[in-house]
Amino acid sequence: MSDTTHIQLAHGGGGQLTAELIEQVILPALGGPQKTGELTDSAVLDAPSKRLALTTDSYVVHPLEFPGGDIGKLAICGTVNDLAMAGALPTALTMALIIEEGLEIALLKRILESAGRTAAQAGAPIVTGDTKVVPRGMLDALMINTAGLGDVLAGADLGFQRVLPGDSIVLSGPLGEHGLAVMARRKGLSFSSDLLSDCTPLSQPAAALVEALGGELHFMRDPTRGGLAATLADLAGGSSHNVEIDEASIPINPTAIAAAEILGLDLLTVANEGKLVAVVSAKACDTALRVLREYQVAREAAEIGRIVGQTDTGQLPLVEMITKIGGRRIVQMPYGEELPRIC
């Protein structure tokens, strides 16, 4: 092969170059058999239990590597966390790569090694995958799709319909770190090195919550795109209950606050990749906080609000925030990407 440093179209052709890429780059990074010859058309798995969770997500992020993570780590965390929010531990993951011709192989290797490490950390083996290469210009460098199969823990009974008035809302840590770290790097802002993405697998703290709380745990969601605002708006809409949060009780990362200020963004609407929101019965709230705080990634967990009763018929359920000064304001579903402001 003429160029061994960059991805060529032939790397996706199914021939020798494809086999080389899989054997030399992909399999060592992600784990699995040594030779492509040992790969079968499908992974065959033993069903772990009767209740399975299944999810899929595609990942595109620019830049591919950002402070605190990269697209590989993100592709594992995102899917593992979607399983975790359903009360499931990951059993197996799939990973499909769509690569733009010309991508640096060293970069691909770094990204896949990061994905492999994260998958191992989350206890989620990558059991099957696919590689395609598209001509230059048809894609921004790399897109990853992962799907995850999970084993729903006994005792997990989660859903909008289980959310009740009086329930407490728990958030596992400060907001906005992922979105702001990526945006700061993208815009070349000087504080970008101080702000790390929170991208991390949440399987363990989520499973611990299920085990400790059982039926007292009513709902979980990771506030990714659209941030906490979107998650709470969904929670209000899905459960038909009003939601009330206290601004003063939301955990804070001062660097993220400063970055949001500079970019003119509302922290509540910025993406997170390593936080969870849990709705728990009020009496189980202290337990939930104690359990979460045992994990480094959730050590700043706090009760941030509560469910406040069914909305009247015909009234749209509302998310309200009691501000730091004691005022009240609405929290809305964000309506799209916010533009940088003038001053």
Partner 1 sequence: MTRQTNTAIRQQCDRIDQLCRQALELSGSAGPLGIMEVCGTHTMCIARSGLSGLLSDNLKLISGPGCPVCVTDQSYIDRALHLAMECEPRPIIATYGDMVRVPGSGGSLAEARASGARVEVVYSADQAVEIALANGDTEVVFLAVGFETTAPGAALAVLRAHNENVPNFSIMTAQKLILPAMEALLSQEDVRIDGFLCPGHVSVIIGWKAYASVAAKYARPCVVAGFDAPQVLASVEAILAQLASGRTESASVYPSVSAEGNARALELLDEVFVASEASWRGLGAIPESGMELREAFGRFDAAVRFGLPDFPSREIPGCRCGDVICGRLHPTGCGLFGSRCTPRRAVGPCMVSSEGACAAAYKYGPHDRGPRQ
Chain residues binding partner 1 by CB under 8 A are 187, 246, 248-249, 264, 266, 302-304, 321-330, 332, 335-336, 338-343
Choice between 125 and 251, CB closer to partner 1: 251
- For 246, phi then psi, to 5°, come to -110, 115
Q: How far is the CB of 1 from partner 1 (least distance, A)?
A: 35
- Residue 190 CB, nearest distance to partner 1 (Å)? 12
Name the residue among 160, 187, 185 with its Cα closest to residue 243: 160
Nearer to partner 1, 63 or 264 (CB): 264
Query: Are 253 and 176 in contact, with CB atoms under 8 Å apart?
Result: yes
Cα torsion angle, 39, 40, 42, 45, sign? negative
| Distance in angstroms (rounded) separating the CA atoms of residues 50 and 157 | 14
Consecutive H or E run containing 76: helix 71-85
Closer residue to partner 1, CB minimum distance, 37 or 188:
188
Short-list 90, 106, 118, 105, CA closest to 30: 118
Minimum CB distance to partner 1 smaller for 98 or for 304? 304
Q: How near is the Cβ of 202 to partner 1 at its closest, in Å?
A: 22
Which amino acid is residue 218, in one-letter code? H
Tell me how far, at minimum, the Cβ of 257 lies from partner 1, in Å: 12
Name the minimum Å distance from CB 172 to partner 1: 15
Q: How far is the CB of 204 from partner 1 (least distance, A)?
A: 25
For residues 44 and 342, which CB has a smaller minimum distance to partner 1 in the complex? Answer: 342
Q: Which is nearer to partner 1, 88 or 292 (CB)?
A: 292
**Tokens read off for 168:** 């407490």
The rounded distance, in Å, linking the Cα atoms of 276 and 180 is: 17
Pairing mode of beta strands 168-171, 277-280: antiparallel
Nearest to residue 304, comparing CAs of 271, 332, 275, 333?
A: 275
